[in-house]
Structure 1
Amino acid sequence: MNAFDKIKKSWWVIFSIIMYINGVGFIYIGTKYNNKNWILEGVLYELPWFIYLIADRLYGNVFISNITGFYSLLAMLIMFIGIIRSVWVAVKLIDVYKNEEMYRIQTTSFNNPNMANNNNDRSSKVACCLCIFILFICFALFAL
């Protein structure tokens, strides 16, 4: 992969440098790769700017004179984290693009004659669902 292809595939990083839309890049790449964590991360990076614009419209000069210093410092810190994180994700995605064969999911089939006759075995399906349900209950109990 040459340098032009790397730049072309990571153009979304430019959004993280722009002040009011620094989370849009993560939202874009999250929707492109169907990764909900990146979408939520992009929304998190957009949230301070969204709150700032709403508070500015609602309270005007009162908001600007009282809270602007602390809030702008917090927003800039989140923006800086977003820039670092987007560059990091872009570098990791370049690695994925280079080694696409290694990361490709391939289907496999087993040549087991006993399994061909038992595709509709209900007991194995019920046992599988029961295991998943028990694991879900265990994780729910540990979460409390």
Structure 2
Amino acid sequence: MNAFDKIKKSWWVILSFIMFLNGFGFIYIGVKYSNRNWIMEGVMYELPWFIYLIYFSIFGGPQPGISHPSSLIILFALILLFVSVIRSVWVAVKLYDIYDNEEKYTIQATSLNSTKDVKNTKDSNSGIACCLCILIIFIIFVIIAL
């Protein structure tokens, strides 16, 4: 696969650089490749922005001279924005390897009489645990801010 096709398939990385949209790239790529961990990761990147918009619509903007909890929400959202940029570039580079070696990663048809041992792979729940940890840390930040 040539470089232009790789770039064309990686357009979703651009969304990671845009505030309020940084999680939608992961949601898109997760839906495209049926990877629920990427979908959940994208939702986690979007969650602080969503909570900030709800908080801002209910309580309004920061008042001069008053400490406002929304600043902690924005700080957490910006940290997650930075993480999503790094993570999306990392995933895109890993996908480049898959694009280059498609014959290695494609499923080949096998006969029913095959004598090869097929190893059972366990579905890793570490991605869910990671997203839950980020969510719990975010909720702790919100509680401390209030």
Which TM bucket (shorter chain)? 0.7 to 0.9
SS at match of 1:61: coil
Q: Aligned to 1:91, which of 90, 93, 103?
A: 93
Unaligned segments of structure 1, at least 5 residues: 113-144
TM-score, length-scaled by structure 2: 0.71
Question: 1:5: Cα distance to partner?
Answer: 1.1
Q: Cα deviation per residue 1:45-83 (whole Å; 9 max; x = unaligned)?
A: 000000000000011135895123322221110010000
Identity of counterpart residues, as a percentage?
63
Inter-partner Cα distance in structure 1 for 2:67 and 2:56: 11
Structure number with larger C-alpha Rg? 1
Inter-partner Cα distance in structure 1 for 2:9 and 2:76: 30
Inter-partner Cα distance in structure 1 for 2:18 and 2:29: 16
Unaligned segments of structure 2, at least 5 residues: 115-146
Larger proportion of helix? 1
TM-score, length-scaled by structure 1: 0.72
Inter-partner Cα distance in structure 2 for 1:97 and 1:43: 26
2:85 is equivalent to residue 46 of structure 1: no
Q: Cα deviation per residue 1:97-124 (whole Å; 9 max; x = unaligned)?
A: 1000000011211438xxxxxxxxxxxx
Inter-partner Cα distance in structure 2 for 1:82 and 1:43: 11
The number of equivalent residue pairs is: 112
4+ long deviations beyond 4 Å: 62-65
Contact 2:15 2:21 in 1 (8 A): yes
Q: Cα deviation per residue 1:19-45 (whole Å; 9 max; x = unaligned)?
A: 001000000000001110000000000
Q: Residues 16, 44 of structure 1: CA spacing in aligned structure 2 closer, same or farther, 3 A cutoff? A: same
